[in-house]
Structure formats: C-alpha cells, structure tokens
Structure 1
C-alpha cells in the first residue's frame, strides 16, 4: 500500500486534536472539579465560524477578518472553554467580590463572554489550553490559541461555556497562524 501524506493529512490532524482534547481534559483542575468544555470542529462548521468572525469585524475589530482567514487555512478547530460561575469556595477575592457567596449573587452577563468568573476556573482554562497546545507541539501540528474564534463559536451556540478559546490546527508547509499582517 502507498499513501501520500496529502491523502491522510486531515485524519492525522483529527487524531492530534482528539489527543489534545484528552490532554486538556486530564489537566489539573482546582479542587479536582472539572468545569472545562471541549468541542472538536471541522468541515462546514469551521466555515460558519469564519463567516461569523467576518460579520463581527463590522464592529470595528478588523483582526476578526485576519483570524477568519486563519480558520479557513486550518484542518480543524478545538474549542476549549470553562464555566466560570462555579466557585472553588476559598473566598480569595480574585473575582472582585468579598466572598464566593457574594460572587454567586452577581449578575452574570457579557456580550462576548459571560462574567464575572471565578479566577480559579479561568486558571483551569489556561492550564487546559496549555496542556492541549503542548501536545500539538509534541506532535508537530501547528496551533495558536485565538479568543476571536472562541467568541464566534460561542455566539453560534457551538459550545456551552462562559469563556471559550479556539485552537485551530494545521499541518501545512508553513504555519498560517504567525507572520500574519493585521487587516486595515
């Protein structure tokens, strides 16, 4: 049997994304409580994200267009988010409230992400993201953590989380996520 890499590239990227997802899932969490949400996206759903990002650029942030182009050059996206409303219960005040019970009474809202959020849950999100992209680096898959992808996917209802980041994946000759010119 002969297989050209071009014929299985997307399958390899999907396998990498699935392993990245498991690394994010098993990353350490505050108090051992998991509030992380993970969704794999490819195909037509990626185009929906890119189109939503272009629509959002009309609000003034032209980098949504640049990042939409990166989405279109990707083979897959991993959405990783966290539910920030679940406190750890240590009354650390990092959220800006006197106690976790005061935090729980807060009016949670937001146009792109929902907040306020428990700082420990956001730390958990960062650790999960770091764990995922560590795996991609080990596997030789290009990625970049992009909040604009997360916003678009959240607005499209693709993931149930308060704060979401998108991690596009690519296996091209050159990473499409760096050396990108800002849109004017």
Structure 2
C-alpha cells in the first residue's frame, strides 16, 4: 500500500519533534541539574499561542509578535523548551548579583539556567537540521506560552521552535 507525501510528512515531523525533545533533555547541564520543561504543542495549543501572540503584539506594540503568529500558522508542530530559574549555588555573579541568595530575593533569572536552556535548544535544533526540517527559534512563542500558563512548573524563560516540511521554509522570508 502506498502512502502519500502528506501522511509521510506529518509522521516524519512528529518523529523529529519527539527526537528534538529527547535531545534537549539529554543535553549537558551545569552540575547535572535539569531545570528544563519540554513539550510538543498540539493544534489547539498552537491556536491559543497564536491568539496570545496577537494580543501581546497589540498590548505591547510589538509587531514582531503579529508577524511570528502569522508564521506559525504554517507549523505542523511546535517544540517548546523552557527553564525554571533555580540558582545552583555557584555564586558566579553572571546574573549581575553577588550571590545566588541575592538573586533569589529579587526572583531573578539564573544565568547558568539560561545557558543550559541555550545548550538544550542548540542540541534540539541540531536534530531538526540533521533531518532538514524547517524551523526557527522564537522567543515570542515562549513568552506567549508562559502568559497562557502552559507550564506546570514555574518557568522563567522559554523558546518555541515551530517545525515545517514544505517546498519553501515558511519561517525564513519574514516581513
């Protein structure tokens, strides 16, 4: 029995999205401490993100959020990766504070957690790249997901990675 490209595309993209999540989870982390929250958004969640991005665009005069909302209409899946801010007790000062305790008092974001998020994102998108899946990193998706309370845990930063496999990357030429 033959299988049409549309079915192949959807199946392959789902597999790649799942592999991206595994790659993010297994990426190296400072002190081996995993503060990541990782998920794949379904169609109804994607629609909520699009609507929230439009609201943020209007509310905060951020036209890029409206542009990005238009881009992700074409995404089959969105991988969402966030990090909790849980200082690791290194007192490194990378966050701008002298100690982790000072950072906790102001409910700031641990720079090491942010670095771990970046490493996980890089690991994740390397999987998309290896399979030639169109993708783009969008903080706008992460912000919308945080405002929509998609995360059970207290996430301080998040990035959304929309995925597509068409003849032309819908996330590349943006106005």
Aligning the two structures, in what range does the TM-score lie when normalised by the shorter sequence?
Answer: over 0.9
How many pairs are equivalent?
Answer: 172
Instruction: Return the match for 1:164 from 142, 158, 163.
Output: 158
Matches within 5 A, 1:1-184: 1-58=1-58, 59-84=60-85, 86-106=86-106, 108=107, 116-159=108-151, 160=153, 161-181=155-175
TM-align CA RMSD: 1.0
Name the SS for the 2:11 alignment partner: helix
Name the SS for the 1:162 alignment partner: strand
**Distance in 2 separating the partners of 1:98 and 1:162:** 20
Per-residue CA shift, 1:93-122, capped at 9, x if unaligned?
A: 11111111222222x2xxxxxxx2111110
**Distance in 2 separating the partners of 1:165 and 1:102:** 26
Moved over 3 A (4+): none
**Distance in 1 separating the partners of 2:162 and 2:42:** 10
Gaps of 5+ in 1: 109-115
Gaps of 5+ in 2: none
Q: Give the structure with the higher percent helix.
A: 2
Per-residue CA shift, 1:18-56, capped at 9, x if unaligned?
A: 000000000000000000100111212111111111111
